[in-house]
Chain A
């Protein structure tokens, strides 16, 4: 029974993790560098959502605030710091993005200090399915995360912009030849990708508390989800996030909760050794 409960918990945290993982991997697919600023952006999103929720907005409105704040901040730094460096290779841009993450983390620290803060959510009784316990809050955040994911998939599959993004990720030169403007696609990728990362930071902070290191704490799980599914693959990131979420919860039963964060690292090493292109390969979508 404990195992089933862990599986359910893993499914919940995997759903939440999938949101920022999609953002990270989609940005990688289009912009061609691993954007490590996700740590700071996730923190920023969590705090923007916290402020909006404290100001009286509903959950959906607060998540929208997190999306907008994180998306704009991510876009700004991509334009001024990262994208000009990508021409020289992925590494300088990746290094600059670490600095960006640190900038955002410390901006939050300047404003809010290091003390953990909790979203003041109404207390509700847990729901039981047989012996499996789920809280209504978990169900709500999971539902919102799923709705967001569906929206992203629908946009990529059916809208013109979504198709243009997939084309650019697949072959930038060919896409440009077809009249797709690469800068516009890059802008959208930064905005939406980082927006999703910000929402992810808030979703993952909802059940516990948030502080300036919130984003840093989810970093390894986030990378693991993206690498496991295949860096640059959006469905891969979702699959990877579920697997990592479940593996982390199961690991708690075996080695205790303090090594949760190591699960992601072990998964990365294992997948790079056994199946270097990830479970679903690196094709974008």
Chain B
């Protein structure tokens, strides 16, 4: 039971990182990333390849995952940030599909749909059964660091500039803010955090495959941010654990229905998540912890 709870808590923490990543740009700058699963995958693959085939230490893998996903974020936005948000939505959605395609087909590198197994976990052999507990603390540590960094950004002049861009990019531009630069930087940082989350995921479960990075993950995270409260880092964390709770409780619920095949059970679960996202967006778009706009500092 304890190990089950630790497993849930760890995956929830990884979703929390993804939710912080999405909140930074969606809540912060009003940009959207429908390819979150793609950046998550880039990070997971970068770190897994480096530490298995490359024999590099795990910490190096995580660092490279962060940087690689950030660079991917830069490339994706460079051609689209100048444009309207709906183009960015289409491009990011396409990006996630292409990442999965590459992961499934470049067999020499990624072992295709078989996936990469045996990804090392930190001190896994020495820890034995305590591994889950220690790994949870690591994820919690990373989560807290990212949380405080993101919250600092949120409350800093930088965060206010992002919000100004979200509300009206033209006004922000007139006020002398370099809108393009702000948007590109925020998106790259957000993608990098998603990549780091991917790396943490891979070293926890020790196995990754293209099918683990379906667009469904992106929907989970949108549900997390929307239900927790867009525009507030604490809301993203609360939302991530709400989604985790919904996912796990729905599993027990769905397994209780008699005469349902495994495929149908999976379909029912996905259906529930999708309906929940629509309901939250329609009925309570501000989420459990609504955004607080701090008063502007008095000018001296």
Tell me, in angstroms, the Cα distance from A84 to B26 when the chains sit together. Answer: 20
Report B-chain residues with C-beta under 8 Å of the C-beta of A34.
Answer: 86, 89-90
Does A98 sit within 8 A of B, measured CB to CB?
A: yes
A261 lies within 8 A of B98 (CB): yes
Does B121 sit within 8 A of A, measured CB to CB?
A: no
Does B82 sit within 8 A of A, measured CB to CB?
A: yes
A102 lies within 8 A of B101 (CB): no
Size class of the contact patch on chain A: 35 or more
**Which residue of B90, B266, B275 is within 8 Å of A99 (Cβ)?**
B275
Contacts known (A91-B32, A268-B90); A109 close to B267, Cβ less than 8 A: yes
Does A168 sit within 8 A of B, measured CB to CB?
A: no
Does B274 sit within 8 A of A, measured CB to CB?
A: yes
Report B-chain residues with C-beta under 8 Å of the C-beta of A90.
Answer: 85-86
Does B83 sit within 8 A of A, measured CB to CB?
A: yes
A231 lies within 8 A of B275 (CB): no
**What total of A-B pairs shows CB separation below 8 Å?**
131
B30 lies within 8 A of A91 (CB): yes
Report B-chain residues with C-beta under 8 Å of the C-beta of A224.
Answer: 94
Tell me, in angstroms, the Cα distance from A261 to B96 when the chains sit together. Answer: 12
Q: Which of A34, A102, A107, A224 is the most central at the interface, judged by chain B CB atoms within 10 Å of its CB? A: A102
A261 lies within 8 A of B83 (CB): no
CB nearest to B84 among chain A residues: A90
**Which A residues are within 8 Å of any B CB, using their own CB?**
28, 33-34, 36, 80-81, 84-85, 88-92, 94-96, 98-100, 102-103, 105-107, 109-110, 113-114, 216, 219-220, 223-224, 227, 231, 258-259, 261-262, 264-265, 268-269, 272-273, 276
Nearest 10 Cβ contacts at the A-B interface: A102-B274, A109-B267, A99-B277, A99-B274, A106-B267, A265-B94, A273-B79, A106-B271, A258-B105, A103-B274
List 19 contacting pairs A-B, 8 Å CB cutoff, sorted by A: A36-B34, A85-B282, A91-B89, A94-B34, A98-B219, A102-B215, A105-B270, A106-B267, A109-B264, A219-B97, A223-B93, A223-B94, A259-B101, A261-B97, A262-B98, A262-B101, A264-B94, A268-B94, A272-B80
**Which B residues are within 8 Å of any A CB, using their own CB?**
26, 30, 32, 34, 79-80, 82-83, 85-87, 89-91, 93-95, 97-98, 101-102, 104-105, 215-216, 218-219, 222, 226, 261, 263-264, 266-268, 270-271, 273-275, 277-278, 281-282, 285
